[in-house]
Amino acid sequence: MVNKKGQEMSVATLLLIVLGLVIVVLVILGFSMGWSGLLEKINIFKPSSNIDDLMNNCNLALTQPGAFCEFKAVTLNGTSQYVNCQDSRIAGSLGGSAPSSCNENTPKMFCGSLTAGNRNVSKTVVNGQLCSVWAVASA
């Protein structure tokens, strides 16, 4: 009689099988419930919703040229909006002073760039105010 042994499975093969199963499940869920719903459920690529996180990012942005004025898409109080470090909710608590490259017209220019992309910005909030307010304030 010949003594037969089963073929051993390596740990790497087992990990690849498990990883493959996870990816298959995520793809099935993504197509069945929608990708945005899936990403929202597992909190991947979700915009920041914490004002403290934004303040920390702005304190770091003080050391990087140009980063202070960049707008980030966030969800605050259930409203999607764009915020940069000039926002009154953030600027007052920053340790350093605002860079000179960032001025009071930055939100207006950002709203203009959104409008130039043929987007309807009537309900778009930038630094706590509607884009229409920024347009009226600058007129």
Distance of CA 117 to CAs 35, 111, 124, Å? 24, 10, 13
Q: Write b or e for each residue in 5-35: b if 16 or more Cβ atoms lie within 10 A of its Cβ, otherwise e.
A: eeeeeeeeeeeeeeeeeeeeeeeeeeeeeee
3-state secondary structure of 130: strand
Sketch the domain layout of the chain as residue ranges. Answer: 11-41, 51-138
Supply the pLDDT for residue 105.
76
Supply the pLDDT for residue 17.
95
Give 68's contacts (C-beta < 8 A, 6+ positions apart): 58, 61, 62, 84, 85, 86, 98, 99, 101, 102
0.75 surpassed by pTM = no
Supply the pLDDT for residue 134.
64
Closest by CA position to 123, among listed 72, 73, 79 = 79
Distance of CA 39 to CAs 30, 43, 48, Å? 8, 6, 14
Whether 104 contacts 97, CB under 8 Å: no
Supply the pLDDT for residue 24.
95
Supply the pLDDT for residue 139.
47
Average pLDDT of adjacent 10-residue blocks, the chain of 139 residues:
68 93 91 75 59 76 74 76 80 64 75 71 78 62
